[in-house]
Each structure stands twice: as C-alpha cells, then as structure tokens.
Amino acid sequence: MSEPARPDVTAAPPSGGGGDVGRRVARRRERLGLSREDVAARAGTAPGCLKHLEESPAAPGAGFLLRLAAALDTTAAELQGPGGAVRPSGPGREAGHPDLVELGPGECHDLLSAHGVGRISVSTSWGPAVVPVDYRVVDDAVVLRAAPDASPAAAAGSEVAFEVDHIDETLSEGWSVLVVGRARQLTESEAVRLVGREYHRPWPGGSREMWLRLDPGSITGRRIRVR
C-alpha cells in the first residue's frame, strides 16, 4: 500500500535535465509526498546522490535501483520504464578479478556519513541481537533513537558494534564499515543541540523517546572491487 502524502513535506520539482529513470523517481517521490531526504534515508543513501539521479542523465546501478524502488513502494521495472530490466537479487558470485581492499579512515567516515540506515549489535537479556536503525553522524559520533523497551536501548552504557554496508549482488561488488565504541544515553536537550528538531520523526514511525550516542573507539572498512 502506498504511503499517504504528508502535507508538511514540500518536494523539489524535477529538473528537465534528468534522465528517464531520474524523472520517474522524482514523479513517484512527489506522488508519495516525500522529500529527497525521506527517500534517501529509506534507501540508505545520501540526498545528494538522489538529487544527482533526478537532475542528471545518470544510470543507477542495479543494487541501488532495487533499494530505491523499495523505498518508493514500487518496482525497479516501473522506475526503468519500457525496455528496462534489472536482474533480481540472488546469491552472490565471485567476480572475475575481485580485490578485497581496506578502507582508510577518511573513506570510512565519508561512507558512514552518506548513509542513514545501519545495524547495531547489542547484548540483551534474551541473547545477542542485531537490529536495523536509522541514524545520523554528528561530530564524528553516531546518533540514533530507540524505544526504551526495544533492543537498541540495551546499547546504553555498553560497548557495541555498529555497521553500514552496500552490497550489489548483481555486480559482485560491495563495501562495509564497522564502528566499535561505547554508547551512552543523551538527554533530549543534548540531542536537539546535536541534530536539531527535525530528527524527532524517525521514518520507521512509532514512539522513540530514547536518544543514544555512539562514540567510535575504532572505525574500519573493506571494499570488494572488481577488475
């Protein structure tokens, strides 16, 4: 079911310079009443990437297009239009000449900052759990919200792992960034000073009254490149 339009969101109009896919993405986004920031957070990408797609004759990769279609409650085929085809996601295969390379601190930080959805690993009373969360990077720290009785809330006061990644199974490429550090609970006034009041509405919905800040002790990353 399509998400109803939100009257408090004003989407930017599509530019005439965009490609066919970009124009379809912009039209679909506007029909749902979503901003670029909304869709970027859902797709786990940066608003700037979405702006480039909508306004330039860009050709998005298969993995990104599939994530974007899910964020817009549609299909990749609908976004591609007549004659388009995206291979479905499936078991990854070794590429012809893959290279597994370590990412430097700067690239890890850039990738972490450009995404909006990651996974946090915590120890709970019923055992270990890995939970997807939406987040922001502020002052080099990961800031997120949680319901007090939800699994991510168990991160407060403990050392945890937080991971973001992008996997393109079709092209056998991808990257991941891992943050390990201690999480602490923030007061609402501290959180508002860090990220502003617009972050009071996490896109999954529901009541999330608890603010958490993860200060990295280490940030590491790896990328699979295909030659």
Task: Please report, for the chain, the start and end positions of each structural domain, with discontinuous segments joined by +.
Answer: 20-80, 98-226
pLDDT at 7: 27
DSSP E strands, 53-203: 98-102, 117-124, 127-138, 141-146, 159-168, 173-186
Number of helical H runs and strand E runs in the chain: 7, 7
Average pLDDT, rounded, for the chain: 76
In CATH terms, 20-80 corresponds, of 1.10.260.40, 1.10.8.60, 1.50.10.10, 2.60.40.650, to 1.10.260.40
Q: Compute the 3-state secondary structure of the chain and give helix, strand, coil in percent, each to the nearest 5.
A: 30, 30, 35
% of residues, the chain, pLDDT over 90: 15
Q: Any idea which fold 98-226 has?
A: Pnp Oxidase; Chain A (2.30.110)
The torsion region of residue 82 among left (phi > 0), alpha (psi -120 to 50) and beta comes to beta
pLDDT at 200: 47
pLDDT digits (tens, 9 = 90+) for 143-192: 888 888 888 888 898 899 999 988 766 566 788 999 999 999 887 777 76
